[in-house]
Chains A and B, each alone.
Chain A
């Protein structure tokens, strides 16, 4: 069946991903790391600043602080009134936003390329001169509480996920929600935000990414002009993350106002950062693709179409993290199918991976998807900036993407079986069942 694809994999695929674009890297004296990606297809530019400061850096009493500070970065500075930042971006046709993750906080501006000097000057200004006013802080905290209501409190699946994460990743910074536990979030104080800013928002803890219709020659003097004078400050220490010992099998049963039950299963596994043997990362990536790499992968073929147990299901390996990774399965059963039945079917899928080697066709298909995906990803300038920022912030090889295909090609069916046996074991598993309230969802 379609043996020819194997030939293709070795020959044609090899030439594809090598259409790589120029990336330049330099570091200022104060420690700011600068990455420049040249993509001259259109006269646009994306400017991002990434900080190694995310919700996993929060102490237990200050959950939500990284994200609240992110909101405050759009308020006042020495030279800007609250709101002026985004208004200036808008006036010159740009868009701006930011996002806070477990591992980092990142800011971006996107423009037509002649706006580059403005983008850099604005970023430098808030990094040098942010001012956190008490009244502004409290008002913005109300906005963040609205954000929490919208995203989590009024969405029972999101609420369930939040509770499940606390059980699925015990004893790590990933156990608390990025947006913060409601009661602690609402008690945050302006002084905590100021101290967070002073601690983490120093040049040595940041990466500036500029991607688009630019050259290093054009960018470097501008960057120096606006960022060279920032004092180096002290770069906060970062503990080395290692693979955790198994936490033991855990279960959580939730009754919430859902109309359709949901199943979560998470295994605690190594990430690319924490894996002692980096091949485990690539093998887990292949394993994830075999289970859920598209409509032809096992979950869609066996569970959705074959056994018709679930209306929707998915598996994903989150292996690009500062701490350990997760391998997560989620499913919503069809009417009349219990969560226990779905859980058994998913455990059966894991067992199959542990006992039977995946076929060469499956392995080739996963690699095809990944390699083609690398070409498609280059269509987005923002996507390229995101990739560079993530890799830099996690201390990973910037050329990871280029090497990805080769690394995946080295993974054998035996490797996939081995990581399934080694990591997808009960003592690394958390299971969550979310059931509707009485009388619902029948």
Chain B
């Protein structure tokens, strides 16, 4: 499949050295995107966690042990594994900005996309969503809720992009050239340490344009060639080494 490029490339950069693993991004994401709380939350493998924070460690024992936290949204891959496999075009990457969309009313719930995505970024609605105790009154009005039986995933809070574009139109600006900081996903806003940056990596006026050139910036699984639009930064070698599978002989 050919690699799709647009003039705008919405990009997230996460500074792992700043992330404390507090999980505020996860909570912001749940609230923003109307993800129903699990009735039985003990089975972590059946939850809907569009953004998941992984714990990494350097493999050493105390007192030399170090940990790092890696938040993982959907990577909005430039060469997504999930898109070509979907039998019904429920997921596509065709909008300016390169966000991989998910059309819930079209998804048949075959879960082929979940099998294809090595980042485990896709989640299936295993059970009916239940909104306990009047929680339904606090749902985000701009985001749809999903029935059970469809696959969902992070879309960089797409509704916020639509809002930002509308604001630009109202102010007589080009909706396809948003100024830095006009479009912010919920996880970024929720993050207390400022570990998350977001913007158009093709626009030199956006901070992420420079950030992704940082010598310590990396993406996960570069060798498979999926061209993620999510970058990570860490000044620690052992963290960067866990970004991809390296054979013993080419470990640096």
Interaction A to B: no
Please report B residues at the A interface, Cβ cutoff 8 Å.
Answer: none
